[in-house]
Amino acid sequence: MMQLPQHHKPSAHSCCPSWIRRSPPSPPPPPHKKLGGGRSRYACRLVPLLVLTVYSVVTVLRIPSASLVVSTADSERVDRREDLEALKTHLPSNQNSLEAREETRSVASLPCSAFISGEAGHGEEGVLCCDRSHYRSDVCYLRGDVRTDPSTSSVLLYNAARGSGPEKVRPYTRKFEDSVMSSIDEVTIVPVPGGHNASASALRRRCDVRHPRGVPAVVLSTGGYTGNVYHEFSDGLIPLFVTAQRFGGEVVLVVLEYHYWWLGRYGAVLEQLTNYKVVDFRSDRRVHCFDEMIVGLRIHGELVVDPKLMPNGKSIKDFQALLHRSYSRTTTTPSASPPVPVPLPLAPPSRSRSRACPRPAAKPKLLIFIRKQNRVLLNLPHVVTACRRAGFAPHVMNLRRQTPLAAIHAALASADAMVAVHGAAVTHFLFMRPGSVLLQIVPVGLDWAADAFYGKPAQQLGLEYLEYKVAPEESSLAAEYGLDSTVLRNPWVISSRGWWEMKKVYMDRQNVTVNIKRFGELLRTARTHLKNTTACAAAAALR
């Protein structure tokens, strides 16, 4: 390149930016004198701006034109929203939504109790799980192609998830008692993995009875202590209500150790829980096919329905309402009008209002349930007299096994009070209306059982609960063991040896003779309560 002489300077018309070659600043022009080189300096300053502008235009032209257009169409807004979501996670939007659905519906991530209670499992196929967490019962859940096999006392689940093994269940609610559970028939649940070939389809048991889709089965046992009214309700009917009532009658009951007398005695209750015939699992040799099944019953406790554990918040009062619908007398006419149940009396109003309520014209009705073999009330005539003196109209209930439940229900639903020595017959307090009085006579050594089995459940039902605790001298055990014996003075010593030892001493060999004076005081307490509640409820019902 030719070297310029040192005396040569660039002319005013040379377009050389100052950031390429720095030259000493020129002196400012004199006032009111225009210089021809001023325009060149302004042009040189615009060059960088023009370069930046051209670069921006080229960058914009590289972006797809579709992304620069804002459309008001719904479909285009959805596409752009999905693109934005994809940018957030660095994954395609359709893959994101698929993975979210799979995570929400993952069977392995949900507890089995969620399937049993109906909170999950909708649309799933081949589901098999068991909830063995409760000390009272094991419950298994199946969904998919479910078929019974009575010849092997088993239930088959076809197209089951691979890796699941067979499960064995005894569907009774006293699994803590080995002696009684050993008498309960065992059901084996066999998962059969899916197969699409012809041989796998041919091996399936042919359906003799295909039940409607969406109508599940509940498998239960009426063995064990069935025959004792307390266990029939506490171990059977109430757990059945807890498990099956959410289906609203659209459920089939499959029963092991099926008893015809049980169906005859509780058929009216079962009709409130199922719209279908009960299946005798052992005698019905047909293959029944379902798309959902629950094997076993859930249980909350002794004569208890815990609303917090129910998916719809039902309580023991809802079970009582079911009993009332089952056993109330109905009025029918030759027309096609449906039967109308007799309503229960209203619950008692508040105390502030009860003072203004009139007293009932008739004496309150009191039922005395008696026993014949053990825990017999030895001075029954004196007890009846004490009830009359306290202002009651007493009626002695001598129940037999063949006494219809409808008759017992009718007597108790119209009664104001019930007196009974601790025993299975106290279970009938479930038929009593709220505000009534349950007076339980508690023999020596049975304090805990009396309160847990009947006292607390009665209070949850809205009854006024009173206890008459038998003194040692009022027990027949005093004559057998002596008044100062450990059996009478320290019953916990015997109870600590186990249920069967306690039962043998305090339940099977004890009768009572109550102190009439002390018992009369408790009756007057009950009478005072009824004056402030039952009379008010009756007056409110008439209004």
For 149-188, write each residue's pLDDT tens digit. Answer: 988 999 999 988 876 789 999 999 999 999 999 999 999 9
What's residue 481's pLDDT? 95
Asked whether the beta carbons of 359 and 536 are under 8 A apart, the reply is no
Mean pLDDT score, 284-308: 96
pLDDT at 3 over 80: no
Mean pLDDT score, 459-472: 97
Mean pLDDT score, 188-208: 73
Asked whether the beta carbons of 436 and 416 are under 8 A apart, the reply is yes
In the chain, % of residues over pLDDT 70: 70
Pairing of strands 340-341, 330-331: antiparallel
Nearest Cα residue to 273 out of 214, 322, 338: 322
Mean pLDDT rounded to a whole number for the chain: 80
- 1 or 232, higher pLDDT: 232
What's residue 468's pLDDT? 98
The radius of gyration of the chain from alpha carbons, rounded to an integer in Å, stands at 41
What's residue 54's pLDDT? 66
Cα(141)–Cα(133) distance, integer angstroms: 14
For 379, phi then psi, to 5°, come to -110, 50
- 68: DSSP letter: G
Least confident of 54-68, 200-214, 343-357, 523-537: 343-357
What's residue 401's pLDDT? 83
- 465 or 9, higher pLDDT: 465
Mean pLDDT score, 367-378: 96
Q: How confident is the model at residue 38 (pLDDT cuts 50, 70, 90)?
A: low
Least confident of 200-209, 328-337, 511-520: 328-337
Which of 358-372, 401-415, 529-543 has the highest average model confidence (pLDDT)? 401-415
Task: Determine the residue type at 386.
Answer: A
pTM, whole model, 2 decimals? 0.74
Domains, in order of start, for the chain: 112-312 (no CATH), 365-541 (3.40.50)
Pairing of strands 139-149, 127-131: antiparallel
pLDDT at 378 over 80: yes
Asked whether the beta carbons of 399 and 425 are under 8 A apart, the reply is yes
Task: Determine the residue type at 482.
Answer: G
What's residue 400's pLDDT? 87
pLDDT in tens, 128-150: 999 999 999 999 999 999 999 98
pLDDT at 474 over 90: yes
SS3 383: helix
Looking at the DSSP bridge assignments, the partners of residue 253 are 218
Nearest Cα residue to 137 out of 294, 25, 364, 254: 294
Task: Determine the residue type at 66.
Answer: A
pLDDT at 193 over 80: yes
pLDDT at 106 over 80: no
Cα(458)–Cα(410) distance, integer angstroms: 18
For 2, phi then psi, to 5°, come to -75, 130
What's residue 44's pLDDT? 57
Mean pLDDT score, 495-500: 90
Contacts 24+ apart (CB under 8 A), 39-46: 40/12, 40/13, 40/14, 40/15, 43/15, 44/15, 44/16, 44/17, 44/18
Residue 364, CB-side half-sphere exposure with 13 Å CA sphere: 30
Least confident of 10-19, 279-288, 304-313, 384-393: 10-19
C-beta atoms surrounding 458 within 10 Å: 25
pLDDT in tens, 241-295: 999 999 999 999 999 999 999 999 999 999 999 999 999 999 999 999 999 999 9
Least confident of 26-40, 98-112, 325-339, 413-427: 26-40
